[in-house]
């Protein structure tokens, strides 16, 4: 909970932009928080989430989908060049938030509550607009200056905590975050501005703007259901009748448009649903949906059923649902990776590779397929082939810590110590753990294998990382 308390109230903003004729927005904010500070704070918090937040959904299929959806909206925004990263937290409550540096988090509960892709997109569009419109910095700028020191100390706490472990961080953050959160729910004007621009993004990105109104009605209903325990989202984004009326008026001016949900949206929701509760709960849920024909998409319900059955260890049953999906001629990377996972769980590595290789050629941007291919080649003891995949892949995605980790494992399996420690050092660099990276590079120096060229590469990298560590230490002292 400590990390999320912080995130709910943190929205730092990118450099000033002129958006849709809206006034130039940033001077006050800019003076207090440079985009560089904002980026560094966001990166530090995001690294901490990836490393320490148990609710972080480390699933390339889910985060791949959210980032593709987010990118479609950002491309229509006034700040299309701004770096954004979208991620999910496994949490049944309805919430979404923007962190410093454009990191936008969504609770799985909110993804499952959205009844259409346009509804989910409307929440992301609203969050993106809070970021591109500098709402938090403007809010801070407008409110008493007294808050700034507290937030700055929080920013420092995040940056400083990386080397002192998360316990200290928890104590530091929770105390301060809660008090800031209560003061930082967005003003009504900012909410309306985020709605107005969110609608424009939705419309330009080809979604149904009515998704925003229908989702807000759903939130309100949840709010009424839970009385004084309204969804977290409503606490930071107060939903007033006035705001809903304003939005509904605005929507009238947009032409009516029916936008079908993408297959990925349906499959991502089915996967999250199949991962909820016990495996047996999930199996029963999909079984009854299928039996009673209570579903919008047969493909999604059969996919969810297959995921639930394989979670319950019933691979034959899962295989039957997969055969149905094949009969329905589904064209989806998620179905291919499920099929390969089923082969692996039945120890048919050759069968899994026969699915993964063509699938990766067909869906080259799907990170999950690339990881699964390396994992399966390793399991099948095809070490040289695994290494080749990692070398090729890291050419295109050099800052993919997971692939760097797979390469380290491959070198370890090949008995190449120097290269194993060198690759592991890159994982730590990407995670911001410089001390661990230095230890790995020193182990690489002492590895006893590797040629002159490899050793000089390691020496050069070690100098670089030590330099970076020294600079960071100086930076921290300066604060």
Instruction: Give me the residues that bind Zn ion (CB under 5 A), please.
Output: 186, 191, 194, 237
Residue closer to Zn ion by CB (options 138, 409) is 138
d(CA 192, CA 211): 16
3-state helix, strand, coil in the chain (%, to 5): 70, 5, 25
DSSP assigned state of 101? G
169, HSE (Cβ side, Cα atoms, 13 Å): 23
Closest CA to 334 of 59, 129, 75: 59
d(CA 447, CA 417): 6
Residue closer to Zn ion by CB (options 103, 286) is 103
How far is the CA of 324 from the CAs of 46, 159, 264, 459, in angstroms?
Answer: 40, 51, 18, 55
Closest approach, Cβ 369 to Zn ion, in A, equals 35
| Helix or strand holding residue 285 (H, E) | helix 279-291
Closest approach, Cβ 142 to Zn ion, in A, equals 16
| Helix or strand holding residue 57 (H, E) | none
Structure tokens at 72: 């479609």
Structure tokens at 347: 């120890």
Residue closer to Zn ion by CB (options 98, 403) is 98
Residue closer to Zn ion by CB (options 72, 235) is 235
Closest approach, Cβ 126 to Zn ion, in A, equals 5
**Which residue, judged by CB position, is nearest to Zn ion in the bound state?**
237
Which residues are within 8 A (CB) of 217 and not within 5 positions of it... i.e. 6 or more apart? 244
Residue closer to Zn ion by CB (options 4, 367) is 4
Closest approach, Cβ 345 to Zn ion, in A, equals 42
Closest approach, Cβ 232 to Zn ion, in A, equals 12
Residue closer to Zn ion by CB (options 95, 310) is 95
Closest CA to 134 of 43, 23, 29: 29
Closest approach, Cβ 9 to Zn ion, in A, equals 12
Closest CA to 371 of 24, 58, 47, 19: 58
Closest approach, Cβ 98 to Zn ion, in A, equals 9
Residue closer to Zn ion by CB (options 188, 463) is 188
97, 105 contact by CB (below 8 A): yes
Cβ burial, residue 266 (10 Å; 0-12/13-18/19+): buried
Closest approach, Cβ 192 to Zn ion, in A, equals 9
Residue closer to Zn ion by CB (options 231, 432) is 231
């Amino acid at each position: 909970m400590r990390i999320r308390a912080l995130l709910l109230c943190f929205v730092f903003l990118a450099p000033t932009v002129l958006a849709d004729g809206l006034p130039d927005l940033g001077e006050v904010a800019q003076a207090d928080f440079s985009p560089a500070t904002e980026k560094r704070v966001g990166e530090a918090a995001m690294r901490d989430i990836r490393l320490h937040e148990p609710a972080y959904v480390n699933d390339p299929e889910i985060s791949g989908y959210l980032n593709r959806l987010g990118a479609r909206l950002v491309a229509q925004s006034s700040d299309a060049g701004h770096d954004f990263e979208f991620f999910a937290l496994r949490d049944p409550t309805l919430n979404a938030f923007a962190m410093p540096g454009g990191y936008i988090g969504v609770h799985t509960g909110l993804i499952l509550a959205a009844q259409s892709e346009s509804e989910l997109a409307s929440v992301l569009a609203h969050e993106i607009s809070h970021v591109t419109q500098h709402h938090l910095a403007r809010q801070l700028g407008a409110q008493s200056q007294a808050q700034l020191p507290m937030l700055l100390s929080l920013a420092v706490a995040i940056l400083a905590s990386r080397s002192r472990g998360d316990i200290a961080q928890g104590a530091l953050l929770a105390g301060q975050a809660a008090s800031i959160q209560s003061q930082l729910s967005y003003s009504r004007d900012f909410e309306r501005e985020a709605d107005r621009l969110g609608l424009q993004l939705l419309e330009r990105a080809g979604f149904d703007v009515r998704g925003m109104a229908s989702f807000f009605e759903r939130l309100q209903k949840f709010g009424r259901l839970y009385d004084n325990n309204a969804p977290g989202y409503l606490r930071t984004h107060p939903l007033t009748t006035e705001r809903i009326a304003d939005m509904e008026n605005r929507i009238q001016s947009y032409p009516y448009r029916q936008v079908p949900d993408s297959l990925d949206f349906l499959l991502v929701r089915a996967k999250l649903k199949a991962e909820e509760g016990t495996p047996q709960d999930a199996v029963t849920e999909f079984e009854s949906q299928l039996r009673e024909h209570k579903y919008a998409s047969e493909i999604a319900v059969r996919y969810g059923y297959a995921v639930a059955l394989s979670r319950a260890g019933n691979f034959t049953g899962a295989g039957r649902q997969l055969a149905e999906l094949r009969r329905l001629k589904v064209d989806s990377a998620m179905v291919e990776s499920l099929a390969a996972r089923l082969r692996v769980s039945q120890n048919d590595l050759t069968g899994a590779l026969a699915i993964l290789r063509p699938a990766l050629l067909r869906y080259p941007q799907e990170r999950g397929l690339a990881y699964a291919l390396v994992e399966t080649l390793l399991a099948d003891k095809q070490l040289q082939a695994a290494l080749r995949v990692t070398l090729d892949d890291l050419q295109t995605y050099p800052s993919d810590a997971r692939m760097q980790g797979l390469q380290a494992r491959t070198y370890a399996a090949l008995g190449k110590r120097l290269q194993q420690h060198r690759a592991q050092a890159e994982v730590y660099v990407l995670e911001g753990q410089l001390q661990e990276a230095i230890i790995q590079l020193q182990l690489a120096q002492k590895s006893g294998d590797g040629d002159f060229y490899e050793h000089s590469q390691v020496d050069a990298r070690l100098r670089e990382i030590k330099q970076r560590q020294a600079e960071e230490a100086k930076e921290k002292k300066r604060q």
